[in-house]
Amino acid sequence: MKRHLTVEDLARDGRFVRVNMEDRMNDPRNVGGPGAYGRDAAEQAGEGGRAGRVGLGRMVPDAPNAPDAARSLMHGIFVGEIQALEGAGRTCYDFDLGDGADQVPYALKLDMARQCWDEARHCEISVKLTEWMGTEIGEFTESPFLFQAACNPDALLRLAGVNRALEGLAIDVFNTMRDFGDKAGDPVLEFCEDWMLADEVTHVKMGSDWMRKLTVNDPERRARALEFQSVVDKLFSLGGGRSDDEDSPIRLARRFRQMAGFTDSEIDEIAEVSRQARNEAEDRVAARRAAMAAAAGSSPPAS
């Protein structure tokens, strides 16, 4: 059987449609996506939030687009669970046993096998949750970013990119959606998120533990892994939509991250990376608006 599959090698039926990050980033409209997130700039400004972030408001049930935003986000989580299953499965198979740089210990494979079991259960939960929320499988696009991070030929970087960065993002998203379910009075969403959140904390803890074990005598390799994790954290901070800020769509779940083995300084660093990503995203929007206004021969629309 082939080792080190690419995204193109993954099996999907005709219901799934992929979109890549480049297309999303090159969307000339404001930040956000179809049905994405809640309040527009005026509403956020009225609530003390920052203006100019059309489409990226707090995930609260009484936001005008809240139901579709929740459906879209949960579909994104569903396809992420599929890729997480595929990624952990590949890490079980792609590497020989051993202590070399291109090998992994048997106990690491056991952890990845346990993660496969969890992710398969999350896929089943997500399918049922999707149905509960009135969403069809494939109704929204699939972004393959999680599996792309799981394609790294270095197992340690996979753990840094997937278990520490993206499963860490999953902690933040599940925590946010659990609160959303609680506030909306949706018991199914709330409980599903709570159960999956518990598993994600374990997955991130696995990443944190293995990162330390595998690099105990190799600080350079650890530095490379942390640098890769930082890049993934910034790329997938949802344009800064995941942060410590009160008006963020996805709040950084500090307590759960601490339980998953993150130090306070590591969490602070993620918050800083998200803040940078948010500022860059807002600069991009401002530049797009200025370009649109210039093309139309008028001044930029107010934020």
Partner 1 sequence: MGKVTVTPEEFSLVFFEADRIAAVTAEIAAKVGIEPDVQVEIEEASPLGRLRVRSVEPIELWAQGGALEDPRRPRYLSERHLAQSLGRLLFRVKDRLNPDFADAPQDDDLTLQQQNIWDIYCLGRLERAGYDAAKSRWLYHFRTRQGFSDVSDAAFDRLWAADGLTWADLESVRTELAEARSAA
Binding residues for partner 1 (CB under 8 A):
17, 19, 23-24, 27-30, 32-36, 40, 54-55, 61-62, 64-68, 70-72, 131-135, 138-141, 184-187, 292, 295, 301
Nearest distance from C-beta of residue 55 to partner 1, angstroms: 6
Nearer to partner 1, 14 or 219 (CB): 14
Residue 263 CB burial class (10 angstroms; 0-12, 13-18, ≥19) = exposed
Tokens of 281: 């995203």
d(CA 289, CA 58): 22
Nearer to partner 1, 56 or 160 (CB): 56
Nearest distance from C-beta of residue 233 to partner 1, angstroms: 24
Nearest distance from C-beta of residue 172 to partner 1, angstroms: 22
Burial 18-56 (b: 16+ CB within 10 A, else e): eeeeeeeeeeeebbbbebbbbbbbebbeeeebbebbbbb
In 3D space, the residue among 217, 202, 224, 238 whose CA is nearest the CA of residue 155 turns out to be: 224
Count how many Cα atoms sit within 13 Å of the Cα of residue 92 in the half-sphere of its side chain: 14
Nearest distance from C-beta of residue 206 to partner 1, angstroms: 33
Nearest distance from C-beta of residue 37 to partner 1, angstroms: 9
Nearer to partner 1, 35 or 105 (CB): 35
